[in-house]
Every structure is written in C-alpha cells, then in structure tokens.
C-alpha cells in the first residue's frame, strides 16, 4: 500500500506553488478507497463515513456523491453534513455529551441518534412529537479484545450503557412515549489491520446483540459495529484485507439468521488517511547529548496524533539519499511536548522538504491549531 498520496515530484511542486507548511489531499485516492471497500462488503452493510476523521467540505462532498452515509459526533459536524442536502436516513449522530439543542437539530434533520444512555433517551422523548427509532450504544463487559486507550477497551468508560446496566435501563424505557430502541451501537476496535481480529470482535457484538434482543424482546433494525478499520503507518505494516473482511461479514450475517436488519460500519481513518500529505521544511538540525533533533516549520499545532499515540506518521525526505539514522522530529512550539516522533532519516539541512503520509485522517482535523498563534497552513484539494 502506498503511504503517500502524491509522488515526490508532485510534493515538491505543491510546496513550491503553495508554500510550506501545507496539507494536500487527493480526491481520486479517497474515491478509490471508498469504491474498493464498498465493493468488498455485503449489500446489507452500510458505510457511514466518520466525519471526525476529516471534515474537509470537499471530502464530504466527494463521499456524498458516492452514496455514503455519515457518522457525526458534534453539532458542528451535523451542520456541515446538513449542507450536503442528503435527504433522510443517511446521517447518524453519536457522542457521550449531547445537549438538548443538538438533539433538537438532529430530530429536525431526520438523523438516527446513537443514544449513549438514559439522558439521551429522555431528552429525545421530550423533544419528539411522533414515534422515533434510536440506536442504543452498549459498552461490553467482556469479549471485545481491543484495549486501545483511545476508545477505552472494556474497562470503565464514559461511552454508552454498561452491559450489566441494561436491564434497569430497558425497564425505565417502557415509560417513554415516543422513543423506541430499534438498534444497537457497539464500538470496540480502533485502527485494527488484522481482519480476523476485527471479525472476532464483530462476532462477539453479534452474540451480545442476540442476547439483548432475546432478553428484552427487541426487534433490531440496525447493529452498528463502529469503526476500527485500520491503515498502516509504516512500510513494514500490512494493510487490512478488505476482501477477506467483507467475506467474513457475509459469513457473519449468514450465521445470524435471527437478524434481518442492516449492519453499519463507521470507517473514518480507513477512507480518509491515505488521501492526505503534509509538507514541511526543516528549519534547524541540532545535536543534543546524543540525540539528533530535526526542527520543522510545523509540529503538534498541525499533527497532534504522534504525541497522543506515540506512533509517527510515515515520513520521507524528498530528494535526499544516503544512510539513515535516528532523528527526533520537533516542531516550532515553545514546549517539549512538540514532537512528531522518532524516525530514521538521512542527513538533513535547513530548507530540506519532508513529506508525511496518511495524514488525511486525524491530521489537521485533530491538531492544536491555535496554540501559540502560528499561521494556519493551507489545505489544497486535488480532484
């Protein structure tokens, strides 16, 4: 899998034309990734792009034209997606702290709400004037192998209703006038590139959904499996086998004949990451007590993910050859937290251009943009 959306010559031309630091995105790469995923999945699996990965308007328009649905997690994302004029039944609204005004907007747009708990259900019931279907987010107590701290694993969580608390919630839900629980939402994986592990998690979710449906006599229209479709961030990492993943989901549906609804997937990273490149020049190279620091024009004000995950984006020095050695990438901010990772790079000098790949997701969208008031980098979109 190519970790950079543009070749070296194109990256160099982009930097010369638009200045650095900058982000560039390829619509063709994003579209190819969506089409490949859609072709691999069973028809009963709906793709809902997770807007939080990258909410660039051009990217949203591109995916909308291809027929995707959208997973929103804030009122800002809802408003951005509302501008696409999608029509009904293509938007989901998730998030652990929804306010009444956000839920009111979601209802006015015909959005399917992923209820996080009793508060969402009660507020929706007060706002609704007719019967509405919602999906309930469940936090499993066991069985989901993923323990990524970004989503919390199976320990204590701010997300959803703990599995053991479901009986009490369903008892309270009997008194709701308008809200009907018609689906479940279980998000239990993050950046998983092993199709077998991802399918094992989804298999557990289906078992959990069956227990819940039978125990509480629910007719489930939807089971939202969340995201988790991973991408490589290094040359030695393998990409997700989407053909095998799609075949596994087909077998999962065939094995669960009790469920006749649709499965929902929320890929954000998988669809957006490969389409983006970040370009920045070296401003200084410093040796400090055995460590080579390569200081760049941009840092965590543009790319925060390496600090959060301790995993750098793939990076290469354009036009540079020779032996590589360890380098700590630092940004221009006045804090020792401003690090973009420890990588291997050839000899570098001020003015050299670095290209970071896979930044189309959780790149600029996740950055500390306004910290220290550095200029906002341009985002250039190529169709």
Summarize pLDDT for 176-221 with one digit per residue, the tens: 999 999 999 998 788 999 999 999 999 999 999 999 999 999 999 9
Higher pLDDT, 91 or 142: 91
Residue with tokens 């998000």: 187
Count CA atoms within 13 Å of residue 291 on its CB side: 10
Provide the pLDDT for residue 141. 78
Q: Please give the C-alpha separations between residue 50 and each of 73, 91, 136, in angstroms, as whole numbers.
A: 8, 10, 18
CA distance 110 to 87: 8
Tokens of 139: 């936090």
> What is the rounded distance in angstroms from the CA atom of residue 56 to the CA atom of residue 36?
21
Given a cut of 70, whether residue 375 has pLDDT beyond it is: yes
Give the Cα-Cα-Cα angle 295, 296, 299 (nearest 5 degrees): 105
Q: How far apart are CA 274 and CA 281, in angstroms?
A: 21
Residue 89, judged by CB atoms within 10 A of its CB (0-12, 13-18, 19+), counts as exposed
- Would you place residue 273 in the very low, low, confident or very high pLDDT band (cuts 50, 70, 90)? very high
- Please give the distance of CA 369 from its chain centroid, rounded to a whole number: 19
Interstrand relation of 22-26 and 379-382 (parallel, antiparallel or unpaired): parallel
What band does 140 get if pLDDT is binned at 50, 70 and 90?
A: confident
For residue 152, pLDDT beyond 70: no
Tell me the two tokens of residue 85: 């004029």
- Look-up of token digits 């790319």: 303
Percentage with pLDDT > 70 across the chain = 96
Which one, of 142, 226, 155, lies nearest residue 192 by Cα? 226
3 state SS of 223: strand
What's the pLDDT at 150? Answer: 46
Query: Which residues is 162 bridged to in the sheet?
Result: 139
Could you tell me how far CA 67 lies from the centroid of its own chain?
A: 18
> Residue 1: which of 273, 362, 207 has the closest Cα?
273
Q: How confident is the model at residue 289 (pLDDT cuts 50, 70, 90)?
A: very high
Predicted pLDDT of residue 383? 73
- 40: pLDDT confidence band, cut at 50, 70 and 90? very high
Close Cβ partners of 237 (under 8 Å, ≥ 6 residues apart): 193
282 in Cβ contact with 349 (< 8 Å): yes
Mean of all residue pLDDT scores within the chain = 93
Give, to the nearest 10 degrees, the angle between helix 195-216 and helix 242-255. 20
Q: How far apart are CA 277 and CA 268, in angstroms?
A: 16
The CA R_g of the chain, rounded to the nearest whole Å, is 22
At 12 the three-state DSSP class reads helix
pLDDT of residue 154: 60
At residue 160 the predicted structure's pLDDT band, cuts being 50, 70 and 90, is confident
Q: How far apart are CA 1 and CA 289, in angstroms?
A: 37
pLDDT of amino acid 149: 47
With a cut of 50, say whether residue 228 has pLDDT above it. yes
- Cite the DSSP H helix spans in the chain: 8-18, 27-40, 57-65, 75-82, 100-108, 118-127, 166-173, 195-216, 242-255, 269-272, 305-309
The token pair that represents 372 in the structure block = 């220290």
Q: What is the pLDDT of residues 315-358, one digit of tens each?
A: 999 999 999 999 999 999 999 999 999 999 999 999 999 999 99
Segment 159-187 mean pLDDT = 93
* Torsion, Cα of 337, 151, 53, 303 (10° steps): 10
Q: How far apart are the first and last CA of the chain?
A: 20
Kind of pairing, strands 132-139 and 161-162? parallel
For residues 77-106, average pLDDT: 93
Instruction: Name the H helices within 237-347.
Output: 242-255, 269-272, 305-309
Q: Which tokens sit at 105?
A: 């907007």
Question: What pTM, to 2 d.p., does this model score?
Answer: 0.94
């Amino acid at each position: 899998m190519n970790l950079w959306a543009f070749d070296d010559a194109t990256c160099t031309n982009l930097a010369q034309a638009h200045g650095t630091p900058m982000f560039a995105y390829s619509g063709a790469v994003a579209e190819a990734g969506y089409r490949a995923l859609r072709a691999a999945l069973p028809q009963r699996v709906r793709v809902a792009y997770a807007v939080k990965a990258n909410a660039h308007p051009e990217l949203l328009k591109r995916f909308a034209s291809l027929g995707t649905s959208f997973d929103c997690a804030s009122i800002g994302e809802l408003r951005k997606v509302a501008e696409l004029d999608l029509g009904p039944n293509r938007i989901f609204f998730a998030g652990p702290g929804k306010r009444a005004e956000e839920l009111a907007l979601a209802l006015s747009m015909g959005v399917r709400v992923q209820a996080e708990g009793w508060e969402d259900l009660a507020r929706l019931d007060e706002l609704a004037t007719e019967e509405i279907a919602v999906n309930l987010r469940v936090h499993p107590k066991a069985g989901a192998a993923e323990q990524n701290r970004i989503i919390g694993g199976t320990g204590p969580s701010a997300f959803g209703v703990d599995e053991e608390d479901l009986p009490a919630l369903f008892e309270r839900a009997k008194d709701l006038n308008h809200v009907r629980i018609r689906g479940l939402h279980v998000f239990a994986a993050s950046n998983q590139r092993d199709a077998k592990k991802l399918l094992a998690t989804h298999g557990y979710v289906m078992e959990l959904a069956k227990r819940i449906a039978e125990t509480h006599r629910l007719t489930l229209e939807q089971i939202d499996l969340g995201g988790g479709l991973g991408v490589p961030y290094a040359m030695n990492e393998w990409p997700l086998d989407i053909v095998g993943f799609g075949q596994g989901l087909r077998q999962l549906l065939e094995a669960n004949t009790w469920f006749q609804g649709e499965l929902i997937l929320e890929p954000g990273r998988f669809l957006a990451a490969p389409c983006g490149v970040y370009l920045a020049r070296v401003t200084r190279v410093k040796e400090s007590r055995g460590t080579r620091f390569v200081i760049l024009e941009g840092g965590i004000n543009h790319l925060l993910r390496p600090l959060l995950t301790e995993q750098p984006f793939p990076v290469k020095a354009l036009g540079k050859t020779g032996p590589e050695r360890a380098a700590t990438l630092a940004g221009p901010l006045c804090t020792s937290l401003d690090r973009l990772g420890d990588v291997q790079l050839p000899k570098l000098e001020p003015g050299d251009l670095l290209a970071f790949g896979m930044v189309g997701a959780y790149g600029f969208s996740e950055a500390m943009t306004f910290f220290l008031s550095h200029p906002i980098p341009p985002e250039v979109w190529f169709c």
